[in-house]
Amino acid sequence: MRRLLALRVRGELATGHVRVAADALGVSERTVWRWLAEASRDERAADEPGARAPAKTRFTITPEVRGLLALWKGNGRAVHRQLVLRAARQSSPTDAPSLTTLHRAIRRDLTPGERAGLAGGERAARKHDVFLARPRPWRNQVWESDHMQAPVLVDVDGKARRPWITWFTDCATNAITGMAVTPGDPSRESVLAALRSAVLREDPYGPFGGLPEKVRVDRGKDFLSRTVTAAFDLLDVTVEDLPAYTPHLKGTVEGLNRAVESMFLAALPGYARQPRPGKRASRPKDEVLLGFEDFTARLLAWTSWWNTEHRPAPLRGRTPLEAWQDDPTPLRDVPATDLWTFTLEDAGTRTLTTRGIRFRKRDYVGPWMTGQAGIQVRIRFMPHHDHRIEVYHAATGRYLGPADLADQATEEQVSAVRRARAARARRLKKDLEASQRERYAAVNQPEAPQRLGALTTVQAQAELAQAADTDLSDLALPDLIPPAAPPADWRTPPSLATRTTPDRPVLLQPEPVPDGPPGRATDPAEDQGAS
pLDDT in tens, 450-488: 666 666 777 777 777 776 655 555 556 666 666 777 787
pLDDT in tens, 382-421: 876 778 889 999 988 888 988 888 887 677 777 777 787 7
Phi, psi of 97 (to 5 degrees): -75, 165
The whole-angstrom separation of Cα 180 and Cα 513 is 76
Q: Catalogue all structural domains in the chain, each as residue range(s) with its CATH number.
A: 2-46 (no CATH), 63-126 (no CATH), 142-326 (3.30.420.10), 344-405 (2.30.30)
Peptide bond into 212 cis (omega under 30): no
Phi, psi of 168 (to 5 degrees): -115, 135
pLDDT < 70: residue spans in the chain = 50-57, 94, 274-284, 384, 409, 435-455, 467-482, 497-531
Phi, psi of 377 (to 5 degrees): -130, 160
Which amino acid, one-letter code, is at 490? W
Peptide bond into 482 cis (omega under 30): no
Question: What per-residue confidence (pLDDT) applies to 527?
Answer: 43
Percent of the chain's residues with pLDDT above 70: 81
Cβ count near 166 (within 10 Å):
27
Question: What per-residue confidence (pLDDT) applies to 317?
Answer: 92
Phi, psi of 262 (to 5 degrees): -80, -30
Question: What per-residue confidence (pLDDT) applies to 224?
Answer: 86
Question: What per-residue confidence (pLDDT) applies to 447?
Answer: 65
Three-state DSSP at 129 gives coil
Cβ count near 175 (within 10 Å):
29
